[in-house]
Amino acid sequence: MPDPPIVHWDDVEGRRSELGHLSATWRDLGRAAGTVNVGVKRIEIDPGKWSTPAHVEGAEEEIVYVLGGSGLSWQDGKVYEIGEGDCIVHRPGAEAHTLRAGDDGLDVLIYGTRVPLQIADLPRADVAWIFPTWTEAGTGDHPWTREVAAGEPEVGEPLPRPSNIVNADDVEWSDWVPGGDIGITAAWLARPAGATLSGLGIDQVHAGKRNSVQHCHSAEEELFIVLEGDGRCLLGDDEHPVRAGHVIARPAGTRIAHSFRAGDAGMRLLVYGTRDPNDMAYFPKSNKIYFRGLGVIARLEQLDYMDGEI
């Protein structure tokens, strides 16, 4: 993990992927910032081209956020227009999906969890066992080559958008200004689009204010991307300048509390995290701990172990 765990997306080397109707530049922002169990990739899809073969998520929940451009969300053979500020959620075992860019290209962030998947390789039988089915192991063409051979997906007229696509301008926003130096206007994006295993939201941090009390997580991994403005990322006793395009990783169990303070023009943050019912959030300034699965907050007491009290 970089120290600090902050990277600017302009400094992450892009990887070109071009094959048939599939053509885009990929940047692995999550790994560059040092994420552990979650990830985010920035995919800049060429005009009129597609991002990936159509696929169904096996175990992970995928969240797409559109940074810019325009295009189509292809889902089970139907298409829906998408543009800046849209959030799309693809749950495990749901619709087959992919993206096609419009005439001006399509720039997206794709979030997901790194889910371990047990696939038994039978080397003597030359098959991979993905219970309850199986497939050839290490033979035949690459999956993307097979996708290209199958031809470009058919595209009809765009339909009214389904519930798994929402726009940041259309979801409910709420102000959280409890006093002191905390001040944000925030909205959930992925939750109204059907996400249940992970979450994506936007914090519009007011000028000179913080987005939250400094805290750290025991089980949840968070990932932040500055969309607009600038400010400071507070990590423990240190402060680091951040601006639009910075990606900040906060893996679970670091014991280093974090929050963000906006500059004079405010700051707009994308906030991604997992929903782990076993997670506990610790607030070192107040010595409080939040048992998130239980919805209970308690203040810790300093015990004198020399007196044998536990």
pTM comes to 0.92
Residue 57's identity, in one-letter code, is: E
- What would the 3-class secondary structure string for 192-251 be? CCCCCCEEEEEEEECCCCECCCCEEECCCCEEEEEEEEEEEEEECCEEEEEECCEEEEEC
Q: pLDDT tens digits, the chain, 310 residues: what are they?
A: 788 899 999 999 999 999 999 999 999 999 999 999 999 999 999 999 999 999 988 888 999 999 999 999 999 999 999 999 999 999 998 999 999 999 999 999 999 998 777 677 666 667 777 767 777 777 778 888 888 888 999 999 999 999 999 999 999 999 988 878 999 999 999 999 999 999 999 999 999 999 999 999 999 999 999 999 999 999 999 999 999 999 999 999 999 999 999 999 999 999 999 988 899 999 998 999 999 888 898 988 765 554 554 4
Phi and psi at residue 294, in whole multiples of 5°? -95, -15
- What would the 3-class secondary structure string for 141-174 be? CCHHHHHHHHCCCCCCCCCCCCCCEEECCCCCEE
Reported as a single tens digit per residue, the pLDDT across 273-287 is 998 889 999 999 899
Spatial CB neighbours of 163, under 8 Å, sequence gap ≥ 6: 193, 194
Domains belonging to the chain, first-starting first, are 6-114+158-166 (2.60.120.10), 169-307 (2.60.120.10)
pLDDT at 304 (0 to 100): 56
Instruction: Calculate the alpha carbon distances from 139 to 54, 123, 131, 306 in Å.
Output: 21, 12, 19, 65
- CB count within 10 Å of CB 93 equals 9
Query: Rounded to an integer, what distance in angstroms lies between the CA atom of residue 260 and that of residue 242?
Result: 9
Q: What share of the chain is helix, strand, coil (3-state, %, to 5)?
A: 5, 50, 40
pLDDT at 303 (0 to 100): 53
Q: For the chain, first and last CA: distance in Å?
A: 36
pLDDT at 183 (0 to 100): 96
